[in-house]
């Protein structure tokens, strides 16, 4: 199975697509954000180092991220990288870890990012994603799957969202040209409804052509 990267600003819908591709097509979903949040919750050394960066909307240092990814992908394929790589140094480091056949770039403007992230809610128990506006739970702020009370991520506060977007523009947006230059980037309009973005992602994977 091929290895894919999901690239795009915070809130573009990377996690939403990745969870579905993993459930329906057997990809191994590797979200560096999810792994880091789990490390923070468990109070590990990595989690303690990462927390301050995450709360401030800054990137966790490349060497910590690369070591963490290496450990999670050893000997596997069919990996869907979500939120990684995020810097050119991470992209170059990834080349030594796993070959990438396709990069799906989810394009979304800043105003929509802010709106989406302000309405995002997550299930702390099973990880399901919701949006109070676009994908609301059936029952008020409770998970449809496991019934747990939904929470808002610490970094979904307005001032942190603004900083995350700035960091994305400075450090991660250059990856678009980088992967375009390699001929493996496909652009998707992430402002479309979730079903349409997912269908476009599947078409790109099946065609496997930029």
Looking at 21, 39, 57, 103, which residue binds ligand AP5 (CB under 6 A)? 57
Burial level of 170, CB count in 10 A (0-12/13-18/19+)? exposed
> Counting every residue, how long is the chain?
210
**70 assigned to active site:** no
Nearer to ligand AP5, 93 or 102 (CB): 93
The residue whose two tokens read 């329906």 is 24
Which secondary structure element, helix H or strand E, spans residue 188, and what is its range? Answer: strand 185-189
Is residue 72 within 8 Å of 105, Cβ to Cβ? no
Among 4, 5, 27, 33, binds ligand AP5 (CB under 6 A): 33
Pick one of 16, 79, 175, 185: the residue that binds ligand AP5 (CB under 6 A). Answer: 16
Please give the structure tokens belonging to residue 209.
Answer: 């052509």
Query: Which residues have a Cβ under 8 Å from the Cβ of 94 and sit 6 or more positions away?
Result: 66, 69, 81, 84, 85, 100
**Catalytic choice (20, 51, 110, 153):** 153
> Cβ 75 to ligand AP5, closest distance in Å?
21
Position 54 contacts ligand AP5 (CB under 6 A): yes
Q: Does 178 bind ligand AP5 (CB under 6 A)?
A: no
Residues 99-118, interacting with ligand AP5 (CB under 6 A):
116-117
The values of phi and psi at residue 70, to 5°, are -55, -45
- Pick from 4, 21, 40, 59: which binds ligand AP5 (CB under 6 A)? 59
* Residue 48: active-site member: no
What b/e sequence results for 120-143 when a residue is b if at least 16 CB atoms lie within 10 Å of its CB, and e otherwise?
bbbbeeebbebbeeebebeeeebb
CA distances from 89 to 75, 111, 119, 204 (A): 22, 28, 32, 26
Binding mask 122-151 for ligand AP5 (x = CB under 6 A): -------xxx--xx----------------
Residue 142 is among the residues annotated as catalytic for this protein: no
Q: Which residues of the chain form contacts with ligand AP5 (CB under 6 A)?
A: 8, 10-16, 32-33, 36, 53-54, 57-60, 65, 83-84, 86, 90, 116-117, 119-120, 129-131, 134-135, 155, 164, 190, 193-194, 197
Q: Which are the catalytic amino acids? A: 14, 86, 120, 153, 164
């Amino acid at each position: 199975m091929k290895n894919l990267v999901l690239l795009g600003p915070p809130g573009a819908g990377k996690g939403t697509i990745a969870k579905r591709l993993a459930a329906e097509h057997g990809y191994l979903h590797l979200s560096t954000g999810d792994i880091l949040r789990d490390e923070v919750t468990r109070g590990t050394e990595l989690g303690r180092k990462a927390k301050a960066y995450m709360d401030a909307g800054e990137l966790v240092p490349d060497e910590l991220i690369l070591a963490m990814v290496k450990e999670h992908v050893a000997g596997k394929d069919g990996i869907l990288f979500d939120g990684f790589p995020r810097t050119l140094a991470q992209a170059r480091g990834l080349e030594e870890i796993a070959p990438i056949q396709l990069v799906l770039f989810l394009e979304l403007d800043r105003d929509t990012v802010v709106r989406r992230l302000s309405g995002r809610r997550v299930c702390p128990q099973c990880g399901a994603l919701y949006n109070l506006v676009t994908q609301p739970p059936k029952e008020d702020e409770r998970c449809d799957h496991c019934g747990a009370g939904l929470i808002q991520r610490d970094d979904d506060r307005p001032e942190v969202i603004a900083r995350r977007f700035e960091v994305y523009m400075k450090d991660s947006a250059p990856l678009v040209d980088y992967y375009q230059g390699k001929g493996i980037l496909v652009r998707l309009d992430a402002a479309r409804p979730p079903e349409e973005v997912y269908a476009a992602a599947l078409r790109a994977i099946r065609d496997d052509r930029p």
